[in-house]
């Protein structure tokens, strides 16, 4: 405890030294972050320690303060984009608190979680409860999901004899290992994994709130209705992406990841025939690019 206090004092001094006496804007900036942290556990303290004020900018526009979240310090490589990561031991990630998720052991990038905390606290004021069903999933986890479907342990895809058709059927609901946006720690699945839930009642209220407000916190729905894209994954009203980081990963995926990088799982010989990068990874809602 004393160590943590000492560390906090040192960090405060460094911040004051680096950024001078806080102006009104930087004070507001701190308040935004503090609001997020007030009711939370020690996990949130960790976010604060690594989340430098330079990654959030408050600007004044027509007498209205708007918060613009600038790309955090992002360091990544091809392995990162492919989800070849161990989130538990990676300081860019943090475990999601059980008050925000349906299960323990779920991870997100720190700035994704911080933005979610801001969003869910404001949503609560409008009587909207957001809960995370799925966060970061690495290559191995996605490989298990994919191969369980491919081999028949889950579902009846094994009945489809033509392998190309089998792959496209699985792709209606699951990404190939190495191609899931969930690898990046920028994606959250919220509340329910069925579109029908979001068409009426409580689900529709939640979806309408997200459609209207999520962008204020940096979130975008990458798998929008298929009218706005051609082919690719089905619409997913539950899947939201933290754009300040994920847009960088999306852009870099097309130049860094090659078809040959997508291997090591059943059906990987179909990667180039399926044009998986163009038809699936990059085929998202234009507003999320």
**Residues binding Zn ion (CB under 5 A):** 189, 239
By DSSP bridging, strand 107-109 and strand 132-134 are unpaired
Closest to Zn ion by CB, 90 vs 236, is 236
Residue 70 C-beta: closest distance to Zn ion, Å:
25
Closest to Zn ion by CB, 166 vs 181, is 181
Cα→Cα distances 63→59, 60, 196, Å: 10, 6, 41
H or E segment and range at residue 202: helix 201-213
Closest to Zn ion by CB, 67 vs 229, is 229
Bridge partners of 240, per DSSP, are: 188
The two most distant CA atoms of the chain are separated, in Å, by 68
Closest to Zn ion by CB, 29 vs 224, is 224
DSSP 1-64: -HHHHHHHHHHHHHHHHHH-S--HHHHHHHHHHHHHHHT--HHHHHHHHH--GGGEEEEEETTE
Residue 141 C-beta: closest distance to Zn ion, Å:
12
Residue 211 C-beta: closest distance to Zn ion, Å:
17
Closest to Zn ion by CB, 169 vs 173, is 173
The residue sitting closest to Zn ion, measured at its beta carbon, is: 239
Residue 182 C-beta: closest distance to Zn ion, Å:
6
Note whether 238 and 250 are within 8 A (CB).
Answer: no
Closest to Zn ion by CB, 29 vs 142, is 142
Residue 194 C-beta: closest distance to Zn ion, Å:
13
H or E segment and range at residue 90: none
Note whether 141 and 82 are within 8 A (CB).
Answer: no
Closest to Zn ion by CB, 111 vs 189, is 189
Residue 187 C-beta: closest distance to Zn ion, Å:
5
Residue 137 C-beta: closest distance to Zn ion, Å:
9
DSSP 282: S
Closest to Zn ion by CB, 184 vs 217, is 184
Q: Which residues of 218-256 are buried (b: 16+ CB within 10 A; e: fewer)?
A: bbbbbbbeeeebeebbebbbbbbbbbbbbbbbbebbeeb
CA nearest neighbour of 216 among 131, 117, 115, 108:
115
DSSP 175: P
Residue 237 C-beta: closest distance to Zn ion, Å:
11
**Spatial separation of the C-alpha atoms in residues 137 and 185, rounded to whole Å:** 8
């Amino acid at each position: 405890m004393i160590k943590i206090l000492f560390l906090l004092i040192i960090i405060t001094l460094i911040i004051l030294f680096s950024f001078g006496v806080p102006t009104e804007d930087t004070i507001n900036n701190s308040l935004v972050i503090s609001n997020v942290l007030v009711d939370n556990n020690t996990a949130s303290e960790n976010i604060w320690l690594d989340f430098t004020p330079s990654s959030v900018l408050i600007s004044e526009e027509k007498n209205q303060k708007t918060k613009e979240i600038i790309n955090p310090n992002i360091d990544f490589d091809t392995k990162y984009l492919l989800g070849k990561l161990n989130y538990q031991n990676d300081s860019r990630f943090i475990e999601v608190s059980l008050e925000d998720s349906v299960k323990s052991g779920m991870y997100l990038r720190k700035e994704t979680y911080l933005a979610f905390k801001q969003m869910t606290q404001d949503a609560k004021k409008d009587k909207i409860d957001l809960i995370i069903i799925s966060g970061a999933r690495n290559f191995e986890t996605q490989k298990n999901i994919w191969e369980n479907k491919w081999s028949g342990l889950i579902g009846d895809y094994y009945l489809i004899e033509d392998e190309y058709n089998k792959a496209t059927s699985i792709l209606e609901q699951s990404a190939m290992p190495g191609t899931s946006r969930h690898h990046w720690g920028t994606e959250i699945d919220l509340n329910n994994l069925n579109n029908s839930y979001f068409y009426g009642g409580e689900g529709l209220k939640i979806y309408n709130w997200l459609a209207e407000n999520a962008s204020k916190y940096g979130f975008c729905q990458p798998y929008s209705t298929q009218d706005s894209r051609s082919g690719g994954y089905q619409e997913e009203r539950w899947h939201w992406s933290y754009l300040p980081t994920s847009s960088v990963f999306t852009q870099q995926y097309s130049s860094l990841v090659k078809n040959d990088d997508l291997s090591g799982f059943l059906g990987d010989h179909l990667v180039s025939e399926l044009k998986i990068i163009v038809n699936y990874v990059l085929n998202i809602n234009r507003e999320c690019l």
